[in-house]
Amino acid sequence: MYLLDTNNLEEARLLLKRETILKRNNLLDKFDNDNNTLLHRYILRNQADAVHLLLEYGASIYSINKYGWLPIHLAAYCGHDQLILKYLIEFEKR
């Protein structure tokens, strides 16, 4: 998780491309101390490009943190970037 939790999207993209589907999904499902996934963490940091990258590689939009919040709850509450909400809604429809 630490390797993906970076501000360098190119490194994260390369790591995700190299990993098998099983390993990739395992990385995307890891939680921090607040049960936030990488998707939650990138939403909190207002990094729309990173959110999109994680969604492309199968990050779950249904992961709940210890406060009972889905990624879309954080995106709506924080309200930093409407593009993040758009991405979450778009990937939910798939």
| For the chain, domain boundaries | 31-93
CB 4 within 8 A of CB 27: yes
Q: Apex CA 77: angle with CA 27 and CA 52, to 5°? A: 40
Q: Pick the residue with more confidence: 69 or 81? A: 69
Give the pLDDT band (50/70/90) at residue 22: very low
- pLDDT score for 6: 62
Say which CATH class 31-93 falls into. mainly alpha
- Residue 68 falls in which region: left (phi positive, over 0), alpha (psi -120 to 50) or beta: left
How much is the mean pLDDT over the chain? 81
Structure-block tokens of residue 26: 């395992």
Structure-block tokens of residue 50: 């990173």
- pLDDT score for 43: 93
- pLDDT score for 7: 67
Crossing angle of helices 9-18 and 48-56, rounded to 10°: 0
